[in-house]
């Protein structure tokens, strides 16, 4: 499947969740079995030889491909969630996004210094969520941290600088306009 065939399956919803935001709805990529498998295969190919021991998926769409990638790589899966969703003791990180502020949490025992972690989410836009997830994961002191996205919205201004010591890769690079 080509990049163009994947993009053709992507739904873009204007003015969601607020006016002025172009929402890239990746659920249309997941409902197509061949497309979903292609995405998982591409991510696994990027990280197959990196020694990934944990995939940390960001709520909620990062759970979908993140869990499939973790299973395929033989790694554990760690959810990064919104506040109040995890049952045990958590560590949290606040961040800014295009339309407000938010917080994400991870279980306090989710990652060890022996882990090599792949953080995964669907979209890289302003970098707020990604930056918070990277800070959260790096706080555990793992051996290595990688970060992956299905789509990088290239013309969205990065309001949060992302650390240079974390390799960040996206499968597709698309403009919002």
Residues identified as active-site: 61, 98
User: What are the tokens at 83?
Assistant: 């506040």
**Helix/strand number for the chain, H first, E second:** 5, 9
Instruction: Bin 164: left if φ > 0, else alpha if -120 < ψ < 50, else beta.
Output: alpha
User: What are the tokens at 127?
Assistant: 């970098």
User: What are the tokens at 134?
Assistant: 């990277």
- Identify whether the C-beta of residue 46 lies closer than 8 Å to the C-beta of residue 73: no
Question: How many residues make up the chain in this entry?
Answer: 177
Using alpha carbons, list the distances in angstroms from residue 30 to 83, 134, 177: 26, 25, 23
DSSP string, 70-108: HHHHT-EEEEEB-TT--SS-EEEEEEEETTEEEEEEEET
């Amino acid at each position: 499947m080509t990049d163009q065939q994947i993009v053709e399956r992507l739904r873009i919803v204007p003015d969601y969740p607020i006016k002025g935001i172009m929402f890239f709805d990746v659920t249309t990529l997941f409902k197509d079995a061949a497309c979903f498998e292609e995405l998982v295969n591409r991510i696994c190919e990027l990280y197959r030889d990196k020694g990934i021991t944990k995939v940390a998926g960001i709520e909620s769409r990062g759970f979908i491909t993140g869990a499939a990638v973790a299973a395929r790589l033989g790694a554990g899966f760690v959810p990064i969630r919104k506040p109040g969703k995890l049952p045990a003791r958590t560590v949290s990180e606040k961040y800014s996004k295009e339309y407000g502020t938010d917080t994400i949490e991870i279980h306090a025992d989710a990652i060890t210094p022996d882990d090599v972690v792949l953080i995964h989410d669907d979209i890289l836009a302003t970098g707020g969520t990604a930056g918070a997830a990277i800070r959260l994961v790096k706080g555990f002191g793992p051996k290595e941290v990688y970060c992956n996205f299905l789509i990088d919205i290239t013309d969205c201004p990065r309001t949060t600088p992302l650390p240079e010591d974390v390799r960040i890769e996206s499968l597709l690079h698309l403009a919002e306009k």
